[in-house]
Chains A and B, each alone.
Chain A
Amino acid sequence: MTQTQTQTQPRPSPLVSIENIDIALPAGSDRKFAVSGATISIDRGEVLCIVGESGSGKSVLASAIAGLLPGDGLQVTKGRLLFDGQDVLSLNEPQLRRLRGARIGFIFQEPMTALNPLLTVGRQLAEALEAHGHPASPARIGELFSAMQLPEPETIGRRYPHELSGGQRQRVAIAMAMACGPDLLIADEPTTALDVTTQAEILKLILALRVSHKLAVLFITHDFGVVREIADRVAVMQNGEIIEVGNARSVLDTPQQPYTRRLLAAVPTLDALRRPSLTDRVALLELDGIEKTHAARRGFFAAKGRSVIALDGVDLELREGETLALVGESGSGKSTLGQVITGLIERDAGHFRLFGDDIARAGDLFTSQRRPAVQMVFQDPQSSLNPRHDVRRILTEPVLRAGLSKAEAHARMAMLLARVGLDASVADRKPHAFSGGQRQRIGLARALMHQPRLLVADEPVSALDVSVQAQVLDLLAELQRDLGLAMLFITHDLRVAAKVADRIAVMQQGRIVEAAATDDLLHRPQSAYARALLAAIPGRAHEADFPHLKRLQRDTA
């Protein structure tokens, strides 16, 4: 862990050593190599994090270690790969199988799809044991589940994956990876699909296992918060190359490469914006006791399904020109609330006032006055634009239908495209020609075409890479300020909320548990849940240890 040890003393032979490896992509891809010239080693018992944005080759590199490269044409074309002195690249499939599961455990990103839906989790764990000649007695299985801190470890093995939560499934996956006592655990973004509080628990579990099992961990992530939480050493990857490797503290503290610096600077911190209080402004939106229950889909022949209470009495106020962040984990009801406000779904009960008028039902939002005034930005840049329409049609069709002249519509489009940082020439292209960040900019321009007064942004940056995320966030904040919009910003990430919001409302199980000015909420949280959310933010415990980081962020900003 300390710098002197790793750098001056002669190290024992590493557990994994990767030397100058090239992994070729299939012919016809946009670049030749998924990984090129990568050299790195993993010591026994250390946690190595590989950080990079999507497409950097980090997952491919990890898969190669146990011969698990996906079948569609990825191939190691050059270099050496040793695991505990064994040349992995020269092993045949049965030899590799003795390595996988037994000496190298894997966990993957998506707990929802990583388990076979048709077999009980106990049977799937038993398989992992039996494959390497270990007895799979119920006692042993219960013991493993218990070590993963799963509830009811003796009986949970009889459940099927769909009966477990995402966090529980990931624990089952870890149990399978740990079943045969491996030397190395390869974890490919294992917490990305989980809520922050669940993520914090899983990270804690992995760190505990590392100590109790003397385990080396190769942890792949895009999140520097997670890195700060668990890494001994860090490797940064960009376009298939390892551009920087080093002790975690030194990389995070004094990054050498400009790319690393840029990535680090893009990580939002919990510094609240200091902005004048808006309490004297007029309330645009007032919600009082909003309730919504999602009835399970039922038909005449469908058995009674469970209905889910999404909103359980929400009170909320949004003032003119204010940005309110609605923060909550999955299932908290935050997206449902956003859809109630934009009229996409009907509420069951509660008062809803917009611009001082009562909204009796969702249909009241679809009037020629109100519809343009309330607009929305969506989460997924892959699906938020109609793939068959060009940007011109996407932007102008609604305002043309609303009665704007063609000339005005086109003028407004040109103005907004420029405003969101896109060239006017993009108007003739279809969505597939754009990157995720560009699509989000188009989505933002579309929302602004109607010159709204209230903008609902539903997780607008959560699908973007960190560096792009920062740009889009800055753009949103800037536009909000310049246009004097009121904005409801829905997010699961308190760090993102801190960056844009005047006030933050924390939601849990359909209720707002705390709403306060951003600075107050971040530094003086009143509710237990807000405190838990804050504590779960990865890397936060160490934030105080990294004074350089803040300076760095100020410098690059």
Chain B
Amino acid sequence: MKRRLSRPFLTLPVLFGLIVLALLVFCVIFADLLYPGNPWRMVARPNLPPLSPGFPAGTDMLGRDLAAGLVHGSRATLVVAFSVVAFAVGLGSAIGLAAGYLGAAIDEGLMRFTEFFQTIPGFLLTIMIVAIFSPTRWTVILAIALMAWPPIVRVVRAEVLSLRRLDWVRAARVSGLSHIRIALLHVLPNVLPQIVVQSSLLLASAIMIESGISFLGLGSRDAVSWGFLLGSGRTAFSVNWWLSTLPGLAIFLTVLAFNLVGDGLERWLDPKRSRRAGP
């Protein structure tokens, strides 16, 4: 406990992550003020390179402003990412809590179920679902969320299992509190730090998967995301290298920022436990 306080949260990488995220939030909020109207209007000469006056990110072959696309794309990308995390964290925490708290038989069943989703090729299934059902924004969100929850289950369950063995959970039982109350009001809050950490890491991988789908041209056309910009720019990459490079850079920086903040949170909230696996 004393250790936690002495461990600073604001390390250099975390600071970097927070600055990137602050810029991102700024873009999301003020997209309409910065670039009012449809970002896909033709506004200038085609194929302007980056850092041209008035067009910091250049234009594409139809003379559309890439900077406008990037700023508006932040919205589409983040809406999908946050919705995915909301679904996945809700589902994953519920299953993890149930598996960890409700005893061996239920745990066994739920974990087989979870393992199944970890075994099958998730990205393939996701794009199949998106393609077979119509590629709307909600299909994309649900299809990504369907594959994203297992890591949450693993972390929450492992934590609940170890908490459940602790004497204070037994003490709560002996003092007459109900199982539901203990699970939701006593155990769950103790798992919250892990859930926060996982959410941050999950945001990163949701952005990654969404841009993969959009890159392949299978994503939702409701709003243009970075992955879509990258994918549509790649046909011309030998001439207009910036059309695919800059959206990719945006994805990279955002994913990096969420990862760095997630790692920082983990070190700060929970120094004992360290990251086990990748996405």
Chain A contacts to B: CB under 8 angstroms = 28, 30, 297-302, 339, 342-344, 366, 368, 371-372, 374-376, 378-380, 383-389, 397-398, 401-402, 432, 443, 446-447, 449-450
Cβ–Cβ contact A28 & B104, under 8 A: no
**B172 on interface, CB distance cutoff 8 Å:** yes
Knowing A299-B104, A299-B108, A301-B112 are in contact, say whether A387-B176 is a contact too (CB < 8 A).
no
Q: Report the bound CA distance from A372 to B175 in whole Å.
A: 7
Instruction: Tell me which of B108, B167, B177 has the highest count of chain A C-beta atoms within 10 A of its own C-beta.
Output: B167
Contact A385 B174 (CB under 8 A): no
Known contacts: A344-B174, A450-B175. The answer to whether A385 contacts B168 by CB under 8 A is yes
A387 to B189, CA, bound (A): 10
Whether B174 pairs with A342 at a CB distance below 8 angstroms is yes
Q: Is the CB of A397 within 8 A of B171?
A: no
Can you report 30 residue pairs joining A to B where beta carbons are below 8 Å apart?
A28-B6, A298-B104, A299-B104, A299-B108, A302-B108, A339-B170, A343-B173, A343-B174, A344-B174, A366-B176, A368-B176, A371-B174, A372-B176, A378-B168, A378-B170, A378-B171, A379-B167, A383-B166, A384-B166, A384-B171, A385-B168, A386-B168, A388-B190, A398-B175, A432-B1, A432-B2, A443-B171, A446-B171, A446-B175, A449-B175
Residues of B within 8 Å of A379, CB to CB, are 167
Partner of B176, one of A386, A389, A402: A402
Q: Given the complex of chains A and B, what is the CA–CA distance between A402 and B181 in angstroms?
A: 13
* Known contacts A28-B6, A299-B104: A384-B176 contact under CB 8 Å: no
Chain A residue, CB-CB nearest to B178: A401
Tell whether B105 is near chain A: CB-to-CB under 8 Å. yes
Query: Is the Cβ of A344 less than 8 Å from the Cβ of B173?
Result: yes
A226, B174: Cα distance in complex, Å: 37
Question: Is B186 an interface residue when CB atoms closer than 8 A count as contact?
Answer: yes
Are the CB atoms of B174 and A375 closer together than 8 Å?
yes
Q: Which 5 interchain pairs have the tightest Cβ spacing?
A: A299-B108, A398-B175, A378-B167, A432-B1, A384-B167
Residues of B within 8 A of A (CB): 1-2, 6, 104-105, 108, 112, 166-168, 170-177, 181, 186, 189-190
Complex Cα distance, B166 from A297, in Å, reads 19
What chain A residues lie within 8 Å of B173 (beta carbons)?
A: 343-344
Q: Is B108 a contact of A376 with CB atoms below 8 Å?
A: no
Whether B170 and A299, one on each chain, are in contact in the complex, defined by CB atoms closer than 8 angstroms, is no
Q: State the total of A-B contacts with C-beta under 8 angstroms.
A: 75
- Give CA–CA (A366, B177) in the complex, Å: 9
Residues of B within 8 Å of A432, CB to CB, are 1-2
Cα distance A28–B189 when bound, in Å? 30
How far is B171's CA from A385's CA once the two chains are assembled, in angstroms? 8
How far is A50 from B20 in the complex, measured between Cα atoms in Å? Answer: 56
| Smallest Cβ-Cβ distance to A295: which chain B residue | B104
Per DSSP, chain A at the interface is: loop
Q: In angstroms, how far is the closest chain A Cβ from the Cβ of B139?
A: 34
B167 touches A380 (CB 8 A): yes
Distance in angstroms between the alpha carbons of A385 and B176 in the assembled complex: 15
Q: Is A300 a contact of B108 with CB atoms below 8 Å? A: yes
- Which chain B residues border A389 with CB–CB below 8 Å? 186
Nearest A residue to B169, CB-CB: A386
- CB-defined contacts of B2 to chain A, threshold 8 Å: 30, 432
List the B side residues contacting A30 at CB < 8 Å.
2
Q: Are A376 and B190 in contact (CB under 8 A)?
A: no
Interface pair B170/A376, CB less than 8 Å apart: yes
A386 contact set on B, CB distance < 8 A: 168, 172, 186, 190
Chain B residues with CB under 8 Å of A450's CB are 175-176
The answer to whether B170 touches A397, judged by C-beta atoms less than 8 angstroms apart, is: no
**In whole Å, how far is A491's beta carbon from the nearest beta carbon of chain B?**
16
Complex Cα spacing A366 to B189, Å: 25
CB distance from B35 to the nearest CB of A (A): 45
What distance in Å separates the Cβ of A359 from its nearest Cβ neighbour in chain B? Answer: 15
Contacts of A385 in B (CB 8 A): 168, 171
Instruction: Give the complex CA separation of A366 and B2 in angstroms.
Output: 38
B176 near A401: Cβ-Cβ < 8 Å? yes
- Indicate whether A299 sits within 8 Å of B105 (C-beta atoms), given known contacts A379-B167, A380-B167, A386-B168: yes
B186 closest partner in A (C-beta): A386
Question: A387: which B residues are within 8 A, CB to CB?
Answer: 1, 168, 190
* Complex Cα–Cα for A301 and B177 (A): 34
Q: How far is the CA of A343 from the CA of B190 in the complex (A)?
A: 25
CB-defined contacts of B177 to chain A, threshold 8 Å: 397-398, 401
Report Cα–Cα, A385/B1, bound state, in Å. Answer: 14
Q: When chains A and B are docked, how far (Å) is the Cα of A172 from the Cα of B108? A: 37
With both chains docked as a complex, state the minimum distance between the C-beta of B50 and any C-beta of chain A, in angstroms: 48
Q: How far is the CB of A366 from chain B (nearest CB, A)?
A: 7
**Nearest Cβ in chain B — how far from A336, in angstroms?**
13
Inter-subunit contact B190/A344 (CB<8 Å): no
Residue of A344, A374, A401 near B170 (CB, 8 A) is A344
Interface contact A297-B176, CB-CB below 8 Å = no
Question: Quick one: closest A residue to B173, CB to CB?
Answer: A344
Please state if B167 and A388 are interface contacts (CB–CB under 8 Å): no
